């Protein structure tokens, strides 16, 4: 059971664990990893182990007397872990703390600047979902499949006019799901029996004049981290293929009550990472040689392919934004705490959001009107007012843009050869340089679409105001997510069942969960304090402007997910035949690799709980550009 200090330090360093290791936990987990069978009582922590852990944690050295005082406490502390683990806490049990992103009333920041006061409002009686759309139905389609790419408003108008039935729409979309799944791999489970029953009931109610609203009779798909009674809820992960729950997720219940028809549970990358799941890889309808990105992989792919009327996805750190970008969909990531997550897989209790992926901004706005609001179970949900008004005059809004995000990318510098470089090391260096140059060429090419968006906004009469994100260590706050995720899937790691997950590389969940177990509680609290500062400073931007326009880039994506601000992602053009070629292998880490004929996106941000205002402005831009009306050729 003896540990080799040098080998252990090297292994941790190569895994990316430079400092945040907590002294008491380190050796216990290391010995568990070594032992094929967990010993009845783990060996006691010694002076040498404490020195190793202190070195890795970056907390300096301890004196002999200090270590003597610490050892009994550390051994006692470790002995308590098993008592908590013995509870076998399910994923559905949240921690005792709750994150609410709105800043406190007018505290002073470290810079001395006032922070805006968040004023809440009780939900008025008339703040229910808006009345059905007044969109008039176009002529009855010769074939129902002509409606495959129609937005929700058009589908609703066709249903109300009696030009089509919900049963016909449901059968059409199910047939398309079956037809294109072999190419795009976006289905985990068809809910066909449930869907046909719902569609028949919707037709009977509509015929009887009992119209429930604009989603009545509309077929939709759920990301398969949402519980649906009577069907598996797999979380996209090996080892969970047959998991099921006895109650529908809150958002599923609310869509049922609105008369929407659930036709499929759609793919997600395993445990909400990427687009690879236990059955393969979900594909991008615009370029099926590439993945759809993720983790709301099936939701975006199925919407883009005209195989559902709309879908629900989730985002913790890009899982609505990334697949919406790759697949050319419109995605709305709501303010954190606007939509209850009851019945959804937990990854990060302080960052998970549920939201719609659809074909237009009004679609997303209508869906959010149905699924938002407290449910009495998810205590993170705030009773904020949400009223979607398509007639709202967005010209009254102040529009900012993150001007540094529109700057020309910096060209990468070739890496210098290492002393005594081997032939293999040279090959790896040259390959890395080549990949960096290719990525730079793609970013340069895509920048033209971002600049064109600014020009388009100016032509619409928008006076753009330059703003910048606060200069904060955003990357250093990301371990908050992985620490919570490791807790959410504690038993997966401790039992060794993480071996059942399909992906096992250094950037995949099994390794990330192991690393995150060594994130110190003190550093977690410190990062949350920095996050509080971030919430204040980003919220202060929305005292200057109402909406912020930005490319769908990593920095704003990380920042706005940490601060809980809403985002709306929409297609912003399609790459021409002169676009740089995509890489031979899609590693799933970049959204800008689509190549000729694939979509690019633009992101709009707003203040907390200003999701309706955000949608109003984004709708104005989308109507002026029309990119949402283009669809991939699948046959």
Determine the pLDDT at residue 10.
42
Q: Contact 170/144 with Cβ under 8 angstroms? A: no
Residue 295, preceding bond cis, omega within 30 degrees? Answer: yes
pLDDT tens by residue, 196-211:
999 999 999 999 999 9
pLDDT band at 38 (very low <50, low <70, confident <90, very high): low
Q: Tell me the backbone φ, ψ of residue 330, rounded to 5 degrees.
A: -105, 125
Of the pLDDT bands very low, low, confident and very high (cuts 50, 70, 90), residue 105 is low
Asked if 454 and 401 touch (Cβ cutoff 8 Å), the reply is: yes
Tens of pLDDT, residue by residue over 343-381, are 999 999 999 999 999 999 999 999 999 999 999 999 999
How many residues are there in the chain?
635
3-state secondary structure of 465: strand
- pTM for the full predicted model: 0.87
Q: Where are the domains of the chain?
A: 1-87
What DSSP state is assigned to residue 344? B
Structure tokens at 163: 């030009």
Mean pLDDT of the chain: 88
Helices (H), ranges, 489-546: 490-494, 509-516, 521-544
* Per-state percent for the chain, helix, strand, coil, to nearest 5: 40, 10, 45
Residue 480 has what pLDDT? 94
User: Which tokens sit at 531?
Assistant: 């996050």
> Which conformational region is residue 387 in: left (phi greater than 0), alpha (psi within -120 to 50 degrees), or beta?
beta
328 vs 121, higher pLDDT: 328
Q: Residue holding tokens 């709305």? A: 332
State the Cα–Cα distance between residues 294 and 323, nearest whole angstrom.
5
What digits encode the pLDDT tens for the residues 532-554?
Answer: 999 999 999 999 999 999 999 88
User: Residue 177 corresponds to which tokens in the numbers above?
Assistant: 């799901």
Greater model confidence, 160 or 125? 160
The answer to whether 173 and 148 are in contact (CB under 8 A) is yes
Residue 138: CB atoms within 10 A of its CB come to: 14
Indicate the range of 74-78, 402-406, 438-442 predicted with least confidence: 74-78
Residues 579-620 have pLDDT tens digits of 999 988 887 667 778 899 999 999 999 999 999 999 999 999
């Amino acid at each position: 059971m003896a540990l080799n200090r040098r080998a252990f330090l090297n292994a941790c360093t190569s895994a990316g664990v430079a400092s945040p290791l907590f002294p008491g936990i380190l050796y216990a987990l290391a010995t568990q990893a070594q032992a094929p069978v967990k010993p009845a009582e783990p060996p006691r922590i010694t002076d040498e182990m404490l020195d190793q852990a202190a070195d890795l944690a970056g907390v300096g050295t301890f004196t002999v007397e200090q270590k003597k005082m610490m050892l009994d406490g550390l051994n006692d502390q470790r002995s308590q872990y098993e008592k908590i683990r013995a509870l076998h806490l399910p994923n559905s049990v949240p921690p005792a703390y709750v994150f609410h992103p709105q800043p406190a009333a007018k505290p002073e920041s470290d810079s001395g600047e006032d922070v805006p006061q968040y004023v809440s409002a009780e939900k008025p009686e008339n703040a229910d979902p808006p009345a059905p759309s007044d969109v008039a139905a176009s002529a009855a389609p010769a074939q129902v499949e002509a409606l495959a790419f129609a937005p929700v408003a058009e589908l609703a108008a066709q249903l109300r006019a009696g030009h089509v039935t919900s049963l016909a729409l449901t059968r059409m979309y199910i047939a398309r799901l079956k037809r294109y799944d072999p190419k795009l791999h976006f289905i985990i489970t068809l809910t066909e029996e449930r869907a046909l029953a719902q569609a028949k009931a919707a037709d009977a109610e509509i015929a009887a004049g009992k119209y429930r609203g604009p989603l009545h009779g509309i077929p939709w798909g759920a990301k398969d981290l949402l519980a649906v009674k009577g069907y598996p809820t797999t979380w996209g992960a090996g080892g969970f293929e047959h998991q099921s729950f006895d109650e529908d997720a809150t958002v599923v219940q609310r869509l049922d009550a609105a008369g929407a028809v659930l036709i499929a549970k759609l793919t997600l990358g395993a445990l909400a990472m990427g687009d690879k799941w236990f059955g393969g890889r979900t594909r991008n309808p615009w370029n099926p040689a590439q993945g759809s990105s993720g983790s709301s992989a099936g939701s975006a792919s199925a919407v883009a392919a005209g195989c559902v009327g709309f879908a629900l996805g989730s985002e913790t750190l890009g899982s609505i934004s990334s697949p919406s970008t790759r697949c050319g969909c419109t995605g709305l990531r709501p303010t954190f705490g606007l939509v209850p997550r009851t019945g959804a897989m937990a990854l990060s209790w302080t960052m998970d959001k549920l939201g719609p992926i659809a074909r237009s901004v009004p679609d997303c706005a209508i869906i959010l009107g149905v699924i938002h609001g407290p449910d009495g179970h998810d205590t993170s949900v705030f009773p904020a007012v949400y009223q979607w008004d398509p007639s709202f005059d967005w010209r009254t809004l102040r529009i900012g843009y993150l001007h540094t995000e529109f700057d020309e990318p910096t060209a990468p510098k070739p890496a210098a050869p290492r002393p005594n470089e081997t032939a293999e090391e040279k090959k790896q260096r040259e390959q890395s340089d080549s990949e960096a140059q290719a990525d730079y060429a793609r970013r340069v090419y895509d920048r033209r679409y971002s600049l064109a968006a600014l020009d388009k906004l100016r032509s619409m009469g928008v006076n753009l105001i330059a703003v910048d994100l606060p200069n904060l260590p955003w990357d250093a706050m990301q371990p908050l997510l992985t620490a919570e995720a490791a807790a959410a899937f504690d038993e997966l790691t401790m039992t060794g069942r993480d071996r059942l997950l399909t992906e096992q590389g250094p950037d995949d969940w099994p390794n990330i969960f192991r690393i995150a177990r060594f994130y110190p509680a003190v550093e977690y609290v410190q990062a949350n304090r920095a996050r509080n500062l971030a919430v204040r400073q980003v919220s202060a931007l929305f005292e200057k402007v109402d909406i912020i326009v930005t490319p769908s880039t990593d920095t704003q994506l990380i920042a706005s997910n940490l601060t809980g601000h809403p985002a709306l992602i929409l297609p912003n053009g399609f790459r021409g035949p002169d676009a740089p070629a995509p890489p031979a292998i899609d590693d799933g880490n970049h959204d800008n690799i689509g190549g000729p004929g694939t979509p690019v996106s633009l992101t709009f941000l707003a203040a907390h709980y200003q999701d309706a205002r955000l949608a109003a402005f984004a709708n104005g831009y989308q109507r002026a550009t029309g990119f949402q009306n283009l669809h991939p050729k699948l046959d």
